[in-house]
Each structure stands twice: as structure tokens, then as C-alpha cells.
Amino acid sequence: MNILITGCFGFIGFNFLKEISENYKSDFNISGIDLLDNSYSNLNFELMESNKNYKFYAENIVNINQVNFESTKFDLIINFAAESHVDTSIYNPNVFIDSNILGVNNLLKFCLKNKIKNFIQISTDEVYGSTKDYYFEEIDILNPSSPYSASKASADMLCNAFAKTYGLNIKTIRPANNYGPFQQPEKLIPFSISNIIENNQVEIYGDGTNVRHWLYVKDTVSGILKVIEKGKDGEIYNIGSGTYFNNNEIAKKLLSKFDLTEQSIKYVQDRPGHDFKYAVNFDKLTSLGWKPKYEFETALDETTSWYLENQKWWSAGIEKVRKNRELRFNKN
């Protein structure tokens, strides 16, 4: 199968690229495209320079129709490319419109132009909005809260429209809150680990009671592969683990790994429009024969060890990450 992976040097996209290029060589002929617009994507690119099991194209997905793919006929495009940090979407929503909506529109038009029938959109559980006790199913109405989640919901609606209007076979995947190796340190777990290593306090928004559905990135990758293998045409699939912790609990778990107490937690002003809880029902995916493999504590240990062993990687842009966090209150 000839497959094009967009956003192949982002967090989930890179984990997916590594897995299939190393362990599924006979199943996929791989091409990747990425804008390489941040230090972490560039570092991931450098890590793959010696890997000969894929072709790479440096470009923005908005410009997908200008890329010369050397007459490769793709059987499947899987779209990981996205702006994904909620804080950034608050002070700069335009880049999310460009990448997450216009970019997806252009990818879908590229499929039509080149007669590529199969497309997988990697979405997010955040499109459903916040909940307290309900577990969102794939048929539920979308109710996004941030410019980020609104842009992803818009992309999902575009996919739905292109499937109905043009007959494209589009599968949409909505993973829960991912964590694991190669996650940019703007996110809670890697940002907290970086602060602990550098003897800073762990910063928690608000009162820390916001709850997330935690999913190890390697389980996300296996779930995506299961959808490629057995997913039905035109369907949406949630991916989850059934593991829920609030931000206080995550902070305490990380601190305990370094023999630190909750006295090392620093509470900071909350993010505007901060959703209380995300939760999805993922029975539809388990009905295909998939289930999460990793226990949270084991996966968190692996993640912590990876950041300890790869300080050069995450420290490359950490000061910029810290400065950008403060911009979440700039809504002009």
C-alpha cells in the first residue's frame, strides 16, 4: 500500500512513522510530508535521516497540490498535520484556520484530483466539548470550546461533506489525550517533567481539577493501524484507554517519581475557556479487535525515562514554550 503521512514529524505522526517504517516495511511504501516549522519537528527529521524506508517532502499541507510526488499513486493519505496547542489557538487562531481547516480542504481536493479514494483524518476528543459524567460516542453532536477544537471540528465536517458529495472513503479517528515520547513540552506531562528536571515548580492551571482521558501514544498508533486494517468505510472511531486523572493527580504522580511532594506544585491563572473533562466511549474500536495494551503507570515510567534520557531534545525549544504559555491571555 502506498501511504502518505502528513505531519510526519509531529508527536503522534512521528510515532506512527517510526512504527510502520521499522516494523511494517512489507506492508507500506511510505511517503511523508511536514512543514518543519519548529525545533522539535526538525530534530525528529534529523533522527530519521538515516532511515531509507520512506520518502520525505518538506512542505505545508496547504500547498499539497504544488508538491511533486514523482508520479507516486497513493492508496491512502493519513492526516496528522495540525496545529494542536490550545494556548496558542487563544492568542493566534489564524494559524489553526490555515492548517486545520484550509489544509484539510486542500488535502481532500488533492485526493479528488489524483483519484485517491482513501483518507484518514486524525481528529481529537476535544471536538465533543466538555463533560462531567457522559462518555461521548461517535454519533454525538460536536460542541468545541477553543479555537483549536473548533478548527478540528470544522475539519471533521469538511471530511463528512467530501465523503457525501464526492464519494471519498474517509475514516475519522478521535483519540483521547495522548502522552509519550517525542511529545512537545508545551503539553502537561512533558512540561511538568522538564520543570522537575530543571528544579522548577510544576505549573498547574486553575485549581488542577480538570480531568483528562489519558492515552499512551503507542496505543494510539496500534489503534490507527487497526482502523486501517479493519475499519469500515466512512466511519468515525474514538480511541481511549479508560484511564482518567485530573491535573493534580498527574502532577503528584510525576513528583513522586522524583521523590518530591505536592509542595513543588505552583498554581497559575487558568486558561480561558478551560474544559472540565474529556471522556469518550471507544467500544466501537474494541469491536474491531483492538484494546489498549499499556497500563498507565508503566507507560508514565517509560515516558519519564525517555525525557530524562533525551534532555537535549526537549530543551531545544523549552524557553520559547515557556514564553508562549504566557500569551494565552492575549485575546486581541
Using the predicted structure, report yes or no on whether residue 327 has a pLDDT greater than 90.
Answer: no
Task: Give the 3-state secondary structure of residue 99.
Answer: helix
Which whole number is the average pLDDT over 126-150? 97
Which whole number is the average pLDDT over 205-226? 98
Residues 6 or more apart whose CB falls under 8 angstroms from that of 114 comprise: 73, 74
**Is 125 among the residues known to form the active site?**
yes
Residues 6 or more apart whose CB falls under 8 angstroms from that of 19 comprise: 218, 221, 225
**Is 126 among the residues known to form the active site?**
yes
Nearest to 86 by CA among 39, 150, 41: 150
Task: Give the 3-state secondary structure of residue 186.
Answer: coil
Catalytic residue selected from 128, 148, 179, 294: 148
Using the predicted structure, report yes or no on whether residue 305 has a pLDDT greater than 70.
Answer: yes
Identify the helix (H) or strand (E) that includes residue 88.
helix 86-91
Rounded Cα distance between 248 and 251, Å, is 5
Which whole number is the average pLDDT over 117-140? 98
* Digit-coded pLDDT (tens) for 264-303: 999 999 999 999 999 999 999 999 999 999 999 999 999 9
Is the overall model pTM greater than 0.85, yes or no? yes
pLDDT at 5: 98
* Digit-coded pLDDT (tens) for 23-66: 999 999 999 999 999 999 999 999 999 998 999 999 999 999 99
Catalytic residue selected from 34, 83, 87, 126: 126
Using the predicted structure, report yes or no on whether residue 331 has a pLDDT greater than 80.
Answer: no
**Is 34 among the residues known to form the active site?**
no
- Mean per-residue pLDDT of the chain: 96
Which whole number is the average pLDDT over 110-135? 97
Q: What residues does CATH 3.90.25.10 cover in the chain? A: 188-212+244-277+296-329
When pLDDT is cut at 50, 70 and 90, the band that residue 332 belongs to is: low
Catalytic residue selected from 34, 87, 125, 156: 125
When pLDDT is cut at 50, 70 and 90, the band that residue 2 belongs to is: very high
Q: What residues does CATH 3.40.50.720 cover in the chain? A: 2-179+215-239
Whether 278 contacts 244, CB under 8 Å: no
The arrangement of secondary structure in 188-212+244-277+296-329, i.e. its CATH architecture, is Alpha-Beta Complex (3.90)
Rounded Cα distance between 237 and 174, Å, is 6
The arrangement of secondary structure in 2-179+215-239, i.e. its CATH architecture, is 3-Layer(aba) Sandwich (3.40)
* Digit-coded pLDDT (tens) for 228-266: 999 999 999 999 999 999 999 999 999 999 999 999 999
